[in-house]
Structure 1
Amino acid sequence: MNYLIYTYFLLIVKVILSCQTKLKISGTVDNGWEFVRERFQENFEQQRELGASIAVYYQGKLVVDLYGGWFNRSRLKSYENDTLQLVFSASKGLVAATVALCVQRGLLNYSELVIKYWPEYGQNDKGNTTVADIMSHRAGLPLDSGMVEDYYNWTGMVHYLEQGQPLWTPGSKHGYHAVTYGWLAGELVRRVDPKKRSLGQFIREEIAQPLDIEFYIGLPSVEDYRVSLLDIKPIDDGSNNTLVEPYSKFNEKAFRQAEIPAANGVTNARSIARLYASLIGDVDDKKRYKRLLNDDIFRQATTSNTPENELDYLLNITTNLSMGFFIMNEMFSLFGHEVFGHLGAGGSIGLAVPSKNLSFASDGMFENIDDPSTFWHCSNGLNYLKSCPAPLVWSQQLQQCSWRVDPPVVVTAASSPIPITATETLPITITTESDLPYQCSNYKSITDGTRRTTNKHVDAETDNTFFKSSPTWVRFEGDAGTRLANYSVPHGRCGSEGSGWVKYPTDPEVGETEIQTACFNWNGMSCIWPKKISVTNCGGFLVYALVAPSLSDARYCTI
């Protein structure tokens, strides 16, 4: 009897699973935007996403509203229209819009000293800090306590910041305030709000409800069941151990219900895109919603406050910040200019292009800090629209340079790599140049021998200076060796503190390109801040599409 029950149980489970394994992509697209659906579906078919949503507003109208995939890794429930997602730093765009609204209402002024609104903030050499310094990450207080549990105590974090000593003279330079930005800006809003509401409540009543969007800072418990949790996979640190922290904290209910404005917004792509659409114009769906900011305040909020070519003090890369938004002109140069927005972990991004009257958003559920794969893949088409919408014709020329705006995405390796020794060379295949991809004849040659894994000196230029946030195709040759290191390189090799190597390397077929993961060995962690890279086999040599590492002292190592 027990055997029969067990057999029936297995059959039932099999039937349920067979009914649930078909990929479901839902939503709407207007005429002329069908290619976005195709690209969105490709993400799932190629295992770039587990569950995600994507939305586009054009001329104030929602023209793309798609969602699909799975609610979680079990694949028993679909990612639906009402699914919500943690969007991490994409929340900062909402915070920036909230402060701008307070400026518009005369409650705040970007040029005023913070102590006018928050007297206690003036301790320990912070008295000359302006509101603009806080909003453009120039306040000098980028570091928090490092304990996620401390984030749940708003008053405690405010006191921590009041007593903090700035790392630099406020206003003299900028450095990304990854988490502290939210409490700094949020406390300003709370101080000037006549009703003294929390930031989360202010946003709900003054922005979310009037715009008819869902964007929570401090998720109500009754909505928690709708949240698709991060798909957390333990990080291999190169030993027999795996690293799960700090990602596991993000899936805790306490994290979502706290008010951590810089990092724990819960929303969907439709709401993010609508928010950005409201910043650049009226939003007209079934009824008309007036623009959130007037022209003057909009210009103040989205004009760069970063000197040209100034390096981020912490990241050691060039970034461009306005009053809370990233200016993304270089990253999205094909849009023209005036692109602004904010990215977040898991595949989240919101941006707007005022000159095109276009806003875009996506969200996702992978834990990768800098892999908004839905955006990167789907926007490969959007980036080429000189005026939107436009004839969706992919010319050969645009396809050749698509790598410029379509960075690599995460691919989970199915098995451990077969080590490649430093003396191995690629088999030479006879082929014509026309058979090979564009990058096989358009790359930057690197011959610097200090990149070799045998170099134990830390005295070379870091790759945050050498590379940019957008991919650069390079070939290693001469003294630099022929390929990136294929094993966990010890800390402090190849001219830097953070030694870069490729996890699970394989050589693609001639003329083919594969996505791989570069890791950096830093301070005992062999795979901190992984980066997605591309490698192409050009018939006798490899070329790599590399980006700047997130660590200030990191370098790609070669063999």
Structure 2
Amino acid sequence: MTVPFPLPDASPAELGLDPGRLEALCARIEADIAAEHHSGAQLAIARHGRLALHRSFGEARPGVKATAETLWLLYSNTKVLTAAALWLLAERGALRLSDTVAEHLPGFETGGKGAITFIELLTHQAGFPSAEVPAEAWEDPAKLREVVCDFSLEWAPGSLVRYHPAAAHWVAAAVIRAVTGEDHRAFLRRNIIEPLRLERELFVGLPEAEAPRVADMRDVDGSVRMPEGSQAHRAAGIPGGGGYGTARAMAAFYQALLGGGALAGRRILSPRSVEYAVRNYTGDRPDEYNGMPMHRGLGPHLRGTTPAIRGLGAIAHPSTFGHGGVGSSYCWGDPASGVSFAFLSNTRQSEEFHGPRMDTLSTMAHAAIIS
């Protein structure tokens, strides 16, 4: 039996959204495809537990039209899913987010890392942004633990905010296994994805049987990106950047967060856990990777009140929180309005294009909220 999608459809007008402004947003995406900035995309906007818009654009792969069933590489949008697993472990009493990582992952303290807390890890203050996990450790838990415990510090933990593209969330994956005995992919599926009834549309660790649904991730020159295009990469469920999903699945996930950890009567987190996670832990300190304050929460970042912000839209309410995927996507939720937004595309664009593009698309979505 097919499980119904957890967000029932509603018209934009029913949800206090301006249909004309949403059509203008869609036209902007179509214009970017026509200008060959990317070949395909998907957009979803939801509010108050209902889906106002879910539309696919262009091609998923050459000659293959993007459809509602297409799965898109989430890149770093995956970080919020992985972080949510730690939030859940904290509310279950398995750890405290103020604990040091080494308390739950013995051996991690080597090289001066013993005082790093989960808060510092998830807010990109841990001090090892350039550390990498080799492919041979993706499916070898003992090797993964050895690699992350051997990460070398580049600066004193807590002294800087600098985005960790992959390393911090590999540590989170190792902690999930150390604390639960379960692979992070299985833990996320069992505790977050399946309870939200998103198992057909959201994956951290993509089964090979789902590969025909995947949109190729391409470079600006049109070539397929590797290793992203390999089944090994898709299956690995890289915790900081390897998830796959539909835009409506990500809009639904953010609806759950906006709903205090519950969606359609199914709870994955407590309201207080979500509130704790989406606080601003880094104030207006600049993130040296992004060149601006990012107002880091424990997974997502927040709009805040600085003049500019990456991806969430210039006119967003200060409490809006979300995350992006490098050069290709952004997903967010706005607690003030109850709106969630997900834009996914299949080209890893330059930041010179992607940053302004996402500021424009997100701003247009916020401008469509009229009541």
TM-score band by shorter chain is: 0.7 to 0.9
Specify the alignment match of 2:4 in structure 1: none
Question: Which residue pairs with 1:136 in the alignment?
Answer: 123
In structure 2, how many angstroms separate the alpha carbons of the residues matched to 1:130 and 1:284? 27
Q: 1:382 is matched with which residue: 348, 365, 370?
A: 365
Letter in 2 for 1:36: L
Residue of structure 2 aligned with 1:70, choices 52, 59, 82:
59
- The structure-2 alpha-carbon separation of the partners of 1:56 and 1:268, relative to structure 1 and needing over 3 Å to count, comes to same
Query: Which residue identity lines up with residue 231 of structure 2 in the other structure?
Result: K
CA distance in structure 2 between the aligned counterparts of 1:289 and 1:373, rounded to whole angstroms:
37
2:271 to 288, 295, 301: 295
Distance 1:61 1:69 in 2: 25
Summarize the Cα distance change of 1:165–1:77 in structure 2 as closer, same or farther, 3 Å threshold: closer
1:18-417 equivalences in 2 (<5 Å) = 29-31=11-13, 32-34=17-19, 35-45=21-31, 46-47=34-35, 48-72=37-61, 74=62, 76-145=63-132, 153=140, 155-193=142-180, 196-213=181-198, 214-234=201-221, 247-281=225-259, 288-308=264-284, 310-329=285-304, 330=306, 331=309, 332-370=313-351, 371=354, 375-385=358-368, 388-390=369-371
Rg larger in 1 or in 2?
1
> Quick one: distance in 1 between partners of 2:152 and 2:262?
47
- TM-score, normalising length: structure 2: 0.84
For residues 293 and 203 of structure 1, what CA distance do their matches in structure 2 show? 13
Distance 2:215 2:158 in 1: 39
**Superposition deviation, residue 58 in structure 1:** 0.8
Summarize the Cα distance change of 1:315–1:356 in structure 2 as closer, same or farther, 3 Å threshold: closer
User: Is the contact made by 2:260 and 2:269 (CA closer than 8 Å) also made in structure 1?
Assistant: no
Q: Is the 8 A contact 2:330 2:343 kept in 1?
A: yes
Report how many aligned residue pairs link the two structures. Answer: 346
Deviates more, 1:137-146 or 1:218-227: 137-146
Greater mean deviation of Cα atoms: 365-374 or 333-342:
365-374
Unaligned regions of 5+ residues in structure 2, if any?
1-8
Q: Give 5+ residue unaligned stretches, structure 1.
A: 1-26, 236-243, 391-559
Q: Distance in 1 between matches of 2:133 and 2:68?
A: 35
Q: Output the amino acid matched with 1:201.
A: A
CA 1:136–1:265: 2 relative to 1, 3 Å? same
Cα–Cα, structure 1 residues 145 and 337, in superposed 2: closer, same or farther, change >3 Å? Answer: closer
RMSD between aligned residues: 2.7
Aligned residues of 2:127 and 2:157 also touching (Cα < 8 A): yes
The answer to whether the Cα contact below 8 Å between 2:302 and 2:322 also exists between their aligned partners in 1 is: yes
Which residue identity does 2:163 align to in structure 1?
Answer: Y
Compared CA separation, residues 353 and 133, structure 1 to 2 (3 A): same
Asked if the contact 2:262–2:269 (Cα under 8 Å) also holds between the matched residues in 1, the reply is: no
Specify the alignment match of 2:5 in structure 1.
Answer: none
By relative contact order (CA 8 Å, sep 6+), the higher-ranking structure is 2
- The one-letter amino acid of 2:297's match is S
**Alpha-carbon distance in structure 1 between the residues aligned to 2:159 and 2:88:** 26
Rate the CA distance shift 1:380–1:324 in 2: closer, same or farther, 3 A. closer
Structure 1 residues 225 and 108, CA gap change in structure 2 (3 angstroms): same
Q: 1 CA distance for matches of 2:233 and 2:333?
A: 28
Q: Note closer, same or farther for the CA distance 1:77–1:283 as it changes in structure 2 (3 Å cut).
A: farther
